[in-house]
């Protein structure tokens, strides 16, 4: 596996939605609510964003010798020069205090067959790095998940509280590109893959 300094050939994927998938559609199939006050109702906002498929990543970091990680679908490329990426995490997340204290982090872009990894790193009250999770320490001791489609090693570039989520921006300093594998996607509360049109 080749890990090189800031070898970014283009934007990393496409913008992904931060919201979970929608509830089942209304009987008429066309739910509409007026915009008032702070905007559209939260449930309708979540349902609308849920119609946009998202790539799945696991954010990993190391704090005082211990690995920390969490699944995210709110990952996106931000800038090519300098190479910047970002993800959002709920300000109520129990994992966030340790991720914030760690500073540097890795983005593990999950492959299509890693839905179990995504589920494990989204679960509460479990050791996410225990077996069967396969991982190793990369540059700077940052945990890297085996089998991922790609790894982006980042220094934290910026941090903003926006609404009920933190936006974390990372400056990509290294990329690790194993043999190319199809990505894992999340849509309508389920995981799946991508098949190009013929």
Residue ranges of domains in the chain = 2-6+55-192
Q: How far apart are the first and last CA of the chain?
A: 31
What's the Cα-to-Cα distance from 182 to each of 55, 94, 147, 173, rounded to whole Å? Answer: 11, 31, 11, 24
What pLDDT digit, counting tens, does each position of 51-61 carry? 889 999 999 99
Of the candidate CATH numbers 2.30.110.10, 2.60.40.1180, 2.40.180.10, 3.40.50.80, the domain formed by 2-6+55-192 belongs to 2.30.110.10
- Max avg pLDDT among 20-24, 33-37, 86-90: 86-90
What pLDDT digit, counting tens, does each position of 161-186 carry? 999 999 999 999 999 998 889 999 99
Phi/psi for 35 (5° steps) reads -90, 125
Cα(174)–Cα(5) distance, integer angstroms: 4
52-79 in b/e form (b: 16+ CB < 10 A) is ebbbbbbbbbbeeeebbbbbbbbbbbbe
What pLDDT digit, counting tens, does each position of 74-88 carry? 999 999 999 999 999
User: Do 91 and 164 meet the contact criterion of CB atoms below 8 Å apart?
Assistant: yes
How large a percentage of the chain has pLDDT more than 70?
81
Query: What is the pLDDT averaged over residues 144-151?
Result: 97
Query: What is the pLDDT averaged over residues 140-147?
Result: 95
| Alpha-helical regions (H) of 5-107 | 42-49, 96-102
Instruction: Give me Rg for the CA atoms of the chain.
Output: 17
Q: If we measure between CA atoms, which residue out of 177, 85, 96 comes closest to residue 138?
A: 177
Cα(60)–Cα(182) distance, integer angstroms: 21
Helices (H) and strands (E) in the chain, counts: 3, 13
């Amino acid at each position: 596996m080749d890990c090189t300094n800031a070898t970014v050939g283009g934007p990393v994927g496409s913008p992904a939605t931060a919201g979970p998938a929608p509830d089942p559609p209304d009987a008429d199939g066309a739910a509409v609510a007026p915009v008032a006050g702070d905007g559209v109702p939260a449930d309708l906002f979540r349902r609308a964003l849920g119609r946009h498929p998202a790539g799945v990543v696991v954010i990993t970091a190391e704090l005082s010798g211990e690995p920390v990680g969490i699944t995210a679908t709110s990952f996106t490329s931000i800038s090519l020069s300098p190479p910047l990426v970002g993800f959002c995490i709920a300000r109520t997340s129990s994992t966030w205090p340790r991720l914030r204290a760690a500073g540097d982090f890795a983005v593990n872009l999950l492959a299509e067959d890693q839905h179990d990894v995504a589920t494990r790193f989204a679960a509460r009250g479990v050791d996410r790095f225990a077996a069967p999770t396969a991982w190793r320490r990369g540059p700077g001791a940052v945990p890297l998940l085996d089998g991922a489609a790609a790894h982006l090693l980042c220094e934290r570039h910026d941090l903003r509280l926006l609404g009920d989520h933190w936006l974390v921006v990372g400056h990509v300093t290294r990329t690790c590109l194993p043999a190319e594998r199809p990505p894992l996607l999340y849509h309508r509360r389920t995981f799946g893959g991508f098949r190009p049109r013929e």
